[in-house]
Chain A
C-alpha cells in the first residue's frame, strides 16, 4: 500500500488530508510539526511526504533539506500559504517535487496529484 506522511501544524488541514487520502486508498501518517515529522521519517518508510512550509519547532524547509540529504529518492510535496511564484520557484529549487498553494482549489484532486508525482521520474 502507498504510504504518505502528512505534516501540517494546522490540525484541521492534516485531518482533512488524512481522510481524503485514506478514502483514496493511501496509508496515511500525520505529524503536526517538523520534529515529529523527522521522527516518523527516521523510523518508517514513506512513498511521499506532503508537508507545510511554515511550522513551529522545525519548519518545512529544514525538514525538506534533511530529506534531500538522507532520503534523496523520497518525493516531497510542499504546501504554502505564500502561494506566489517566487516562493514556489525557491521550493522547487530546494528539491520539492511539487508546490501546492493553500487554500487548495479543490482538495479532492490532491490524491490524484500525489499519485502522479510518485509515478513520475525523479
Chain B
C-alpha cells in the first residue's frame, strides 16, 4: 500500500491491495481502518465513539452499501468512506488518502480545541449535533440548493446572527448564495487553496473578499474545495469556495473554525457528488435532445434486439409512446414478428450494413441501416430507419402505368389483327346458319357453336379495345343521376332476381367527362354484383354529394365477398373469379381505367361475409 499512514484492516478476506496491512488490534491506535461491512457492529462503533480521535473508516461493501442509515442514525463524527469490494487499487488508494486526510484534520482540530483528554459526548454538545446533521444532510443532497440548505444549518452552529455564505469559483464568480445574502458577485481574485481558512480584513489573501462584499466585514471563513469534476470541463480542476462572512465586530472563534473544518470532508464529498449529478443530468438531457432532434427514426438495440434507446421519430413511426418502447424487441414493434426480420442488418453482424429493406406493420416499407458498436464487452447496434412506403408505392404505380400503356398498345394491335379473320368466321357461320336447310341437325349445332364462340371473341375484343381506351365520344357534363338510371336500365336482365335498393338524391354535382364511360363503369359493377350474388340477393345503389363539387357513388351487394388475399389484384387485367369462358377478367380493369380517366377514385371494401362495396368518387 502506497499510503503513508497507520492503516489496519478488519475482516476475513482482505483484497490484494491490502497486502501487508496489519490486522486491526484494539491496542494499537490507527488512523485509517479498512473494515469489511459484515464486521461492523454497534459495539465496535460505540467503542470508537469513546475514543477522542477515532480512526477514519473505509468500509468495504458488497453489492450496495446498506449501512448508511445505521451510520447516519449514529451521527458518526467522521463520515465513513465506502468502497465496493471489487474496487481497483487506484480507487482504494484514493479512498484511503481521503480517510487519512479526514482523520488528520480532525486530530488537528482536537488539538486546537484542547480536547485531548476529554471523551466525546454527543448528547451534551448541541453544536456537534448540528454538524452531524449537516453531514447527514450533505450526504443526501442532490442539488446545489440542497447543499445550501444544509449549509444554512451552520448559521446556528456558528454563533452569529449577521453572516452569510456564498459559493463562488476560483475567480470569485458567484455560483450561488444563501437567500438574503448581502453579497454581490465579485470578479478576478484568488482565494486560499484547499482547506478551511479564517481570514480577517488585512490578513494576506483577504483582499479579494472585499470584492464580493460591498459592506464592511469583520471576519470570513473560506472553505475551498478542489474538485476533479466540473459541470463544464472535465480536465481542469475546479475550486468551489464556501465563504462565510461576518459583519459584526466579533471575529469568528476557534470553535467556529473547528466546526467548519469538521464539516469540510462531508461537504466536499457531497459537493463533488452534486456537481457530478448535475453534469450527468445535463449530459443526459443534451444527449436526449440531440437524439430526439434527429428526424429519422433511430434506436439502439442490444444483442437480443431489445431496444435500449429510441428517439421520438421512432416512437411516432410505430405510433407508440416513447415510454412503451424501452426493453421491447424491435422486430415485435416494427413488424409484429416473434423472430428478427429476415433482412435485418443487425442480425448480419458486420459493423455497418447499408439499407436493407424490411416490411413493417401495415405493409410499411422500411429501409434499415445498422451500425454495430462494442461497449464494455457488450454489443449494441445503432439502427437507422427510413419509411419508404410512399416512394415504393409511387415507383410501383409508375411501373404499373408503364406496363399498362405497353399492354394497351399490344392489345390494341392484336385485337385489330384478329378482328378481320374473326369477322370472316362470324359472318360465314351466320350465312351458313341462315340457309341451313341443307345441313344435318348435328352440323347445324356445330355451326351454331362456332357462331357463339366467334360472338364471344368479338365481345372480348370489344372489351379489350374499350379497355385500351380506343373509344372516342364527345366529352360533356356527366349527369351522375341519369348515368345511374341508364346503367340500371341496361342491366335489367342481369338483375332479374335481385332486389335493387336505390338512394340517389335529386341533386348531384355534374362532372365533366363522357356519360357513356360512367354508364359503362356502373354497368360493369352492377353486372359483377349480380353475378356474385347468383340467384338472389340485394343490391344497394346510393349516391351523395361531397365537399368540393364531388360525388360519391356506392354499389353494395350481399354476395359472398372477395377474399382479402385477392382484394389487391381484382383491378388487374385478366383477373376473374368466373368460370372459364364466362368472363374476360377485364371488367374491373376497365372500370378502374375509366374511373381514372374521369379523374376519379375507386375503392373496394369486402369485410368477410358481408358482401362487397365499391365506392367511386368523381
Residues on A lying within 8 angstroms of B by beta carbon are 10, 12-13, 15-17, 19-20, 23, 52, 79, 81-86, 89, 102-104, 106-108
CB–CB A84/B423 < 8 A: no
User: Hey, which chain B residues are within 8 Å of A103, CB to CB?
Assistant: 419, 422-423, 425-427, 454, 458
B528 on the interface (CB 8 Å rule)? no
Interface residues of B in 403-439 (CB under 8 A from A): 415-416, 419-428, 430-431, 434-435
Most central of A12, A82, A102, A108 by chain B CB within 10 Å: A102
Asked whether, in the complex, the Cβ of B416 is within 8 Å of the Cβ of A82, the reply is yes
Residue contact A85 to B422, C-beta cutoff 8 Å: no
Q: How far is the CA of A96 from the CA of B422 in the complex (A)?
A: 23
Chain A residues whose C-beta falls within 8 Å of the C-beta of B415 in the assembled complex: 81
* Residue contact A84 to B470, C-beta cutoff 8 Å: yes
| Contact (Cβ within 8 A) B470 A82 | yes
Residues of A within 8 A of B472 (CB): 84-86, 89
Checking B420, B428, B430, B473 against A102 with a beta-carbon cut-off of 8 angstroms, the contacting residue is B420
Would you mind naming 27 contact pairs between A and B with Cβ atoms under 8 Å apart? A10-B421, A12-B421, A12-B425, A12-B428, A13-B424, A13-B427, A16-B424, A16-B427, A20-B431, A52-B420, A81-B419, A83-B462, A84-B471, A85-B472, A86-B471, A86-B472, A89-B472, A102-B420, A102-B422, A103-B422, A103-B423, A103-B426, A104-B426, A104-B427, A104-B430, A106-B430, A108-B431
Give the Cβ gap from A30 to chain B, nearest Cβ, in Å: 13
Residues in B lying within 8 Å of A, measured CB to CB? 415-416, 419-428, 430-431, 434-435, 454, 458, 462, 465, 470-473
A104–B166 Cα distance when bound, in Å, is: 108
**Cross-chain contact B435 with A107 (CB below 8 angstroms):** no
- Report the minimum CB–CB distance from B63 to chain A (whole Å): 88
In the bound complex, what is the Cα–Cα distance between A70 and B93 (angstroms)? 122
B81 to chain A, nearest CB (A): 98
A to B contact number (C-beta, < 8 Å)? 71
CA distance A13 to B423 in the complex (A): 7
**Could you tell me if A81 and B420 are in contact, using CB atoms closer than 8 angstroms?**
yes
Give the complex CA separation of A16 and B415 in angstroms: 21
Q: Which residues of B contact A108 (CB under 8 A)?
A: 430-431, 434
**A interface secondary structure, majority:** helix
Contacts of A102 in B (CB 8 A): 419-420, 422-423
State whether A12 and B424 are in contact (beta carbons under 8 Å apart), knowing that A23-B435, A84-B465 are contacts in the complex.
Answer: yes
What are the residues of chain B within 8 A of A23 when measuring CB–CB?
Answer: 435
Q: How far is the CA of A104 from the CA of B424 in the complex (A)?
A: 9
* A36 nearest CB across to chain B (Å): 17
Nearest CB on B from A26, distance (A): 14
The distance in angstroms between the C-alpha atoms of A62 and B275, with both chains bound, is 99
Secondary structure of the B side of the interface? helix
Q: Shortest distance in angstroms between A79's beta carbon and chain B's nearest beta carbon?
A: 8
Beyond A85-B471, A85-B473, A103-B458, whether A19 also contacts B421 by CB under 8 A is: no
Given contacts A13-B427, A86-B471, A103-B422, 11 further A-B contacts (CB under 8 A): A10-B421, A10-B423, A12-B425, A16-B431, A17-B427, A20-B431, A20-B434, A85-B473, A86-B470, A102-B419, A102-B423
Alpha-carbon distance A107/B455, docked complex (angstroms): 12
A13 close to B420 (CB less than 8 A): yes
Residues from chain B with Cβ under 8 Å of A20 in the complex: 427, 431, 434
Residues of the A chain whose Cβ atoms lie less than 8 Å from the Cβ of B434? 20, 108
What is the CA–CA distance of A13 and B343 in the complex, to the nearest angstrom?
A: 61
Minimum CB–CB distance from B416 to chain A (whole Å) comes to 5
Q: How far is the CB of B433 from chain A (nearest CB, A)?
A: 9
Q: In the assembly, what is the distance between CA of A52 and CA of B419, in Å? A: 12
Across the interface, which residues of B come within 8 angstroms of A86, CB to CB?
470-472
Decide: B424 and A10 in contact? CB cutoff 8 A. Answer: yes
Residues of A within 8 A of B435 (CB): 23
A81 to chain B, nearest CB (A): 4
Contacts of A84 on B, CB cut-off 8 Å?
465, 470-472
- A18, chain B: closest CB distance, angstroms: 10
Nearest residue (CB) in A for B466 is A84
- Complex Cα distance, B427 from A102, in Å, reads 10
Complex Cα distance A81/B457, Å?
Answer: 13
Q: For the complex, give the distance between the alpha carbons of A16 and B422 in Å.
A: 12
- Nearest 6 Cβ contacts at the A-B interface: A12-B424, A81-B419, A103-B423, A107-B427, A86-B472, A102-B423
Known: A16-B428, A103-B458. A81 touches B471 (CB 8 A): no
How far apart sit A23 and B432, CA to CA, in the bound complex (Å)?
Answer: 12
Output the nearest chain A residue to B455 by Cβ-Cβ distance: A103
* Docked CA distance A106–B429 (Å): 10
Please indicate the chain B residues that have their CB under 8 angstroms from the CB of A104 in the complex.
Answer: 423, 426-427, 430
